[in-house]
Structure 1
Amino acid sequence: MKKTAIPLALTLALAAAAGATQAQTSVTLYGIADAGVSYVSGQEGAKKRVVSGIMEGSRFGFRGNEDLGGGYRTIFTLENRLELDTGSVSNRPASGSQLPARFNSAAALGLPAPLQPAVTQVAGQLGATLGVNLSGNLFDRQAFVGLVTPVGAVLVGRQYTPIYELSATFDTMRTESSLAFGQVATFPPSVEIRTNNALSYRLQTGPWTASTMFVFGEGATTTGRMIGAIAMYRTTAFAVGLGYQTRENEKGEKALTNIAVGASASLGPGTLYAQYVNVKDEHPGGLSPVRAALTPAIGPVFAAAVTNAFSAALVQDANAYHVGYRVITGPHTISASYNRYDDRLARNADVQSYGAVYSYAFSKRTDVNVVVTRFDNSSNAQTAPGQNGFLGGVTTEPGRDSQNVALGIRHRF
């Protein structure tokens, strides 16, 4: 990846007006421009689309570094999300605000028919949240500052979560394309990718890498907190990793929790990857405001019944599995993998995906990519494939399968 060093005195000219001190350091401008054409079957609306973020989400960012001496450094990262097809910083899935069918009817939620208007209202509120960076934050991907010391690094700000980093390490696709492990379970999300208000500690020594993270609740340190930790051992021949992560909801109850184990090993001309992630969320968060909004219209008893029904529909208890193989030879990269989300609840909304991806590198910075992925949905599942840069959404009905064929070009700078 080509990097362009820019003196801090130039990039932080506005800060100088506020009295900032010019230091002997540099800032690196970097980014990815990734776009192409994608075909997805089984959804309403346009099946063929120009999209941004087939292999990796398009972005640009700044990394800063200052050597303080004695093994100490200060660093920062500010990373923006960018949609090449529209120039926006946010996107929605092709299926828009459509939710899986089990969220759309009173009968499916186990509620009496007269409560259908309330169900429709709540489904609309939840559907409006489907998408990426809908609030339009400038540096949605990452925004943190840190101090690197001889005994590890401390980072503060918006960061990737430990479990996501471990999962990405042992994903054959490295989260790229519709074939990525995480694509089989995007609603409700099976793993939290990034988080605000995070304080993390990272340590790397020899083949060992470890990190731990504590996330403060919004406005309080007693609710909405998250803790997580991972440890990995990596050599050129093989690697293994283990992680744990859990989040509280706004009531302080234990919510989305993951245990992950991953491994990779050199085998023949390529690398074999495998991982397992346990997904459990017995107290889904975010429904307290919904209940408060319903109460004036239908009363506290019915408002509680509706929100409790939605909470039950959002509960997760599943095992997710991944296995794949990647070969790199000259400019050619060929990857194939299989992913499965095994729903252990009564609804049994299992999803599996499999396929292959081929990349041809014109240079170290530019490649073209061909993606072929199939999603098989059980009778109660309706997951559609997305890509690295956006959510796939849902198919038109439960049990309907979906295929994705994509062709794109990626340039790193």
Structure 2
Amino acid sequence: MQKKLIALAVAAAAAAPAFAQSNVTVYGRVDMGYSYSGSHSGDAESRNGIDSGLLQPSFIGFKGTEDLGNGLKVGFDVQTRLNFDTNEERDYIASSSRRDSYLFLSGGFGTVAAGRLTTPQNAFLGSLDPFLDSAITGFSTNYTQGAGLLNFVLSGKADPVTRLDNTVAYISPSFSGLTVTVAYTASALNDERADDDLDANIWAVSPVYKNGPLTLGANYHKVKVDAIDATETVWDLGAAYDFGVVKLAAAYGQDKLELGGDDGKVKQWFLAATVPVSAAGNVVLAYGQQEIDDVDDSNNDRFSIGYHHSLSKRTTVYAQYGDYDIEENSLAGEGYESKFGLGVRHTF
């Protein structure tokens, strides 16, 4: 017995430096609630549901850093989407189940990261819309992202591209509030297989200036798929200012697709407001529009209203409603024209 205790003590002593040097954090978000979708267009049917990720997707993540000395740090972050209502992956969100996963090196020069990364466009627009990336009321419901138009042509669905595979990115240090993000991938839509010529080359740049209540920024990215002679060019401008009694935000963007000898363009914008009504509660509103240039009856208008109440720093209850005017030639084509959600978001 004594020998076993000695052996355990020796093993613990040997492992102690490894435990002391590790710096891994488990974190994530659980978002659950009730949703109703109705007043449908096309063949969609009204539905009630207990759903995960109504305000923001639920996920679990692991991240860690190591101090290399001389101001250098190396670290990683890996995230996986979780669906707490069913605890299984659903086909229609399979691509977004794979969230960010990357390795990074940071120092006085900024940060260099490689892996699967959120697009600068999604990060910037998501910081302006108080509904974040809500599937019920957020900007992504009528604002193309990434290669959204290209997806529409290839699959008939304008699914947003919010993350890019096989990406290298550089994030500059803050220059008096100005930060610039540059990202590039030569294979955003597949697994870099040698026999696959449908690689999508994407590069993006996004300067964002933040100083006190003011945020100003832009995004520009280009998608090229040589195998089908396709080029998609996206740009966005946005700003927000917190007046104290109300925070106002706005964004405007264009998404142009050139495919062979044809081309098409989408214009889109939104206005948003956050109004504090108590120390812990905010009323949030947004109105936005998406329209295919030179195509009649192609508008998709969004009106969103909601209330967010912080029970603590990590727990928020919310209610939100979205009303949509979906015209027959819009990118949405058919879908729900009213959505309601009531839920709780908890971070850990």
TM-score of the pair, normalised by structure 1: 0.69
Letter in 2 for 1:169: S
Q: Distance in 2 between matches of 1:410 and 1:378?
A: 33
**Contact 2:35/2:342 (8 A) holds in 1:** yes
Larger RCO: 1 or 2 (CA < 8 Å, sep 6+): 1
Identity of aligned residues (%): 23
1:114-153 alignment to 2 at 5 Å? 131-133=92-94, 140-153=98-111
Letter in 2 for 1:241: G
Determine the structure 1 residue equivalent to 2:167: 198
Moved more, 330-339 or 37-46: 37-46
Determine the structure 2 residue equivalent to 1:210: 180
2:273 is aligned, of 312, 325, 348, to 325
Structure number having the greater strand percentage? 2
Cα distance, 1:37 vs structure 2: 1.0
1:3-82 alignment to 2 at 5 Å? 24-41=21-38, 42=40, 44-82=44-82
Q: Distance in 1 between matches of 2:232 and 2:308?
A: 35
Cα distance, 1:204 vs structure 2: 2.5
Determine the structure 1 residue equivalent to 2:217: 241
Cα distance, 1:276 vs structure 2: 0.7
Determine the structure 1 residue equivalent to 2:347: 412
**Contact 1:223/1:252 (8 A) holds in 2:** no
1:1-400 alignment to 2 at 5 Å? 24-41=21-38, 42=40, 44-88=44-88, 90-92=89-91, 131-133=92-94, 140-185=98-143, 188-189=157-158, 192-205=161-174, 206-217=176-187, 218-219=192-193, 223-249=199-225, 251=227, 253-283=229-259, 316-328=264-276, 329-346=278-295, 348-381=297-330, 383=332, 394-395=334-335
SS in 1 for 2:247: strand
Cα gap change, 1:403 to 1:222, in 2 (>3 Å): closer
SS in 2 for 1:282: strand
**Contact 2:198/2:225 (8 A) holds in 1:** no
CA offset digits 1:161-190 (Å, max 9, x no partner): 122222212223232352211111465437
Letter in 1 for 2:37: V
Gaps in structure 2 of 5+ consecutive residues: 1-17, 145-151
CA offset digits 1:356-407 (Å, max 9, x no partner): 11012211111211011100012423739xxxxxxxxx42xxxxx6111111
CA offset digits 1:238-272 (Å, max 9, x no partner): 11101210111251734332101010112251210
**Contact 1:340/1:352 (8 A) holds in 2:** yes
Cα gap change, 1:190 to 1:262, in 2 (>3 Å): farther
Cα gap change, 1:271 to 1:185, in 2 (>3 Å): closer
Cα distance, 1:237 vs structure 2: 2.3
Q: Distance in 1 between matches of 2:100 and 2:19?
A: 24
Q: Distance in 2 between matches of 1:275 and 1:382?
A: 19
CA offset digits 1:39-77 (Å, max 9, x no partner): 111163451111110111010010111111111101111
TM-score of the pair, normalised by structure 2: 0.81
SS in 2 for 1:376: strand
Q: Distance in 2 between matches of 1:190 and 1:318?
A: 14
Determine the structure 1 residue equivalent to 2:147: none
Cα gap change, 1:193 to 1:359, in 2 (>3 Å): same
Q: Distance in 2 between matches of 1:191 and 1:209?
A: 25
Q: Distance in 2 between matches of 1:145 and 1:22?
A: 21
Q: Distance in 2 between matches of 1:184 and 1:326?
A: 20
Moved more, 220-229 or 329-338: 220-229
SS in 2 for 1:83: coil
